[in-house]
Amino acid sequence: MSPAKQLRRLIASGRTIAAIGATDALSAKLIESHGFDCVYIGSYATAASRFALPDTGALALPELAEQARTIVNAVKLPVIADAEGGFHDAANIWRTVQAFEQAGVAAIHIEDHAYGKHAAVEQKLRPAHEAAARIRAAVEARRDPDFLIVARSDAFWVAKDLEDTIARLVLYVQAGADMVFPTFVGPAELAEVRRRVERPAMVLPMSDARDASIVLHYAFSALVQFEALGRALEDFRGERKEPGGAQAFEDFLGYRDFAARTRRYGG
């Protein structure tokens, strides 16, 4: 079964699925080993882990698609990827869809946020009709009909305007979106979105996400790694305390499998 079909089955199950954000192939493999159903890779974690940069729209399509490919190759789980605003206008967005399909991901989300993503700067949204055209072009460009196109609207995040958010999501669904993703809504807003928009919803973590099909914990691995490595480095500076667990780590990575192949085939 293809990863995209796996993800569609998960969504159809009616459960609320936790999509844990990975920073790299190793974190994705750990997420899989702990029994989660899917993995997420986004611009936030990619900008931080690969370039030590903030997530301000500076990443290019090849950088995100290649990061997604390394994660797909490390796990058997469906991978959901961040396609930002699509990277191209509607007429050329087929290249974005092609890149992520070839990387092997199960779904991408495309947003209507044009600029900002930080409280200290002016936020700009794309006109709704322009964002809808990108969604329609992406849907028509996919080769695998199970590959999911998720329409993300940041209208509630930017202006706390639920009516505009819902109007935009309805327009994106009419353009063919498989799921909707209203960012930074709460449980009450999500319930209204689900009542008025006929698609399953993807959301960011909230107090009660029972109305959502997928919850994106986009910063999970990045924040854990930042905190844990910082703490370990402080311990090392103070006590020269080396980390333990090398054998378990190497077993997890597959060194024993390599040894077994060497015994079977020779070195």
Which residues does the annotation mark as catalytic? 55
Long-range contacts of 93-97 (CB under 8 A, 24+ apart): 93/134, 93/137, 93/138, 93/141, 94/137, 94/138, 94/141, 95/61, 96/61, 96/138, 97/138, 97/141, 97/142, 97/147, 97/149
Measured from the Cβ of residue 263, the count of other Cβ atoms closer than 10 Å reads 9
- Provide the 3-class DSSP secondary structure of residue 80: strand
Going by C-alpha positions, the residue among 203, 131, 206, 197 that lies closest to residue 163 is 197
User: Coil, strand or helix: which one is 209?
Assistant: coil
Please list the residues that pair with 182 across neighbouring strands.
153
- Please give the helix or strand (H or E) that residue 111 lies within, else none: strand 107-111
Buried b (16+ CB within 10 A) or exposed e, 147-167: bbbbbbbbbbbbeeebebbbb
> How many whole angstroms separate alpha carbon 166 and alpha carbon 189?
10
**Coil vs helix vs strand at 179:** strand
Q: Are strands 124-125 and 113-115 parallel, antiparallel or unpaired?
A: antiparallel
